[in-house]
Structure 1
């Protein structure tokens, strides 16, 4: 899976879960069917939101995006349906071209800690994926314990 495919997949997943959450809110507040639609859609969206942020950071490091592009990509998850148009803009601008940077080159940026960490992750893919999933689950669990962002 290329960086482009990974980022696009999570951008689409973010849009799908926004749709679930909005549908759940409509069922709760308009159709008045109770809290259960948001209780189901909310956590699904929250988990995908966190996973999208992680995928966005990994792709941003690999593709060497500027802080502004990275921030735009991550912030797009906060605005309903914005992740796909932002992903398309990033793709059209050529910022998703190329493969994973698995080996160091003569480029001095390859000696930066984040670039070295990325290469380690790519070299130990299953371990890195496991650690990232555990990290997302831990953050997700803590956020569930803390409660929703707005009283509810």
Structure 2
């Protein structure tokens, strides 16, 4: 489940980047809406899939409440799902709870 969360977090960030590029093109030099049209739809789907996968991962991997809240909120600002996934990987939150090793402080 941790691997699925990592992949979906990556895809959510990629679609965010595409949407930001599309907005730059729409209001910048090209004045085209086609990239926004495409990545807007892709990001909408990726956002919903990420939210569902984050909740399922939280239940299956037995995350604490703060980790679940952060995971869901990370989808709102652009590109935050990537650093969140990196932090969760370092803290061992993406590993099977039975194999999880506490992080030294």
What is the number of equivalent residue pairs in this alignment? 97
2:62 paired with 1:60: no
Tell me which residue corresponds to 2:102: none
1:39-54 equivalences under 5 Å are: 39-54=37-52
Secondary structure of the equivalent of 2:96?
A: coil
1:54 deviation in Å? Answer: 0.6
Q: Distance in 1 between matches of 2:56 and 2:91?
A: 18
Of 86, 90, 93, the match for 1:92: 90
Deviation at 1:34, TM superposition (A): 2.8
Q: Distance in 1 between matches of 2:95 and 2:35?
A: 39
Q: Greater relative contact order (Cα 8 A, min sep 6): structure 1 or 2?
A: 2
Deviations for 1:43-92, whole angstroms, at most 9, x for unmatched residues? 11111010000111110000111221101011111111110111111111
The root-mean-square deviation of aligned C-alpha atoms, in Å, is 1.3
Report how far residue 20 of structure 1 moved.
Answer: 0.6
TM-score, normalization by structure 2: 0.86
- Cα distance between partner residues in 1 of 2:5 and 2:32: 35
Larger Rg: 1
Corresponding residue for 2:15?
17
Distance between the aligned counterparts of 1:32 and 1:98, measured in 2? 47
